Structure 1
């Protein structure tokens, strides 16, 4: 990941954390989504994932970039709502680095 991407995710994570902490659903999309509960956040994440898949299959790169951004945004909300961070995701990816995907998947089974 580029340094810029890491900084972008860090800023996004901080903004989401602040908006969740403020809990002002009428003023913040993040807070309003969180107020609807984890299930609604997860549902929105799933919708964004499907939209990203559709954009990828249709070979529409600008749409895929937009949908991937929406996907990362909503995943960030879900992670924050669960008290998890992008650092935890990075640590898990680092742990898996150098391990065959087949081997890693078999170890989880």
Structure 2
């Protein structure tokens, strides 16, 4: 079995985008994601924050299995937040690539803000 890659995030984002389109078309259905969109941006951001805190807690406790689970939740809510805010994964990937190209001297000087 091969490990999932960034492709997995893209696939999850596509599913989220589909649920967003269904929500916009008035077809909320039973989808957890569409129901979340219906609750609005503030609720989505709140859920993202909750998952971020839970992820930090598990990291501090050193509970690897729980950290993996919370990390998956955090990534899901981050992707939902991106869609809600009109951000495409490619926008973030480009920013990461730009930051990754920082000269080593700048990295050592602490320019990682």
Fold shared by both chains (TM-score > 0.5):
yes
Aligned position for 1:6: 6
In structure 1, the residue matched to 2:91 is: 88
Equivalent position of 2:21 in the other structure: 21
* 2:38 maps to 1:35: yes
Q: Does 2:111 match 1:103?
A: yes
**1:7 offset after TM fit, Å?**
1.2
Task: Please give the per-residue CA displacement for 1:66-107, whole angstroms capped at 9, x wherever unaligned.
Answer: 0000000000000011111111111001111142283242xx
**Where does structure 2 lack aligned partners over 5 or more consecutive residues?**
none
* Backbone CA RMSD of aligned residues: 1.6
How many residues of Structure 1 are paired with residues of Structure 2 in the alignment? 103
> Which whole-Å CA distance do the structure 2 matches of 1:64 and 1:104 have between them?
24
Bigger shift: residues 59-68 or 83-92: 83-92
Please list every run of at least 4 consecutive aligned residues from structure 1 whose deviation after the TM superposition is greater than 3 angstroms: none
How big is the shift at 1:26? 3.7
C-alpha distance in 1 between matches for 2:37 and 2:45:
10
> Larger C-alpha radius of gyration, 1 or 2?
2
TM-score normalised per structure 2: 0.84
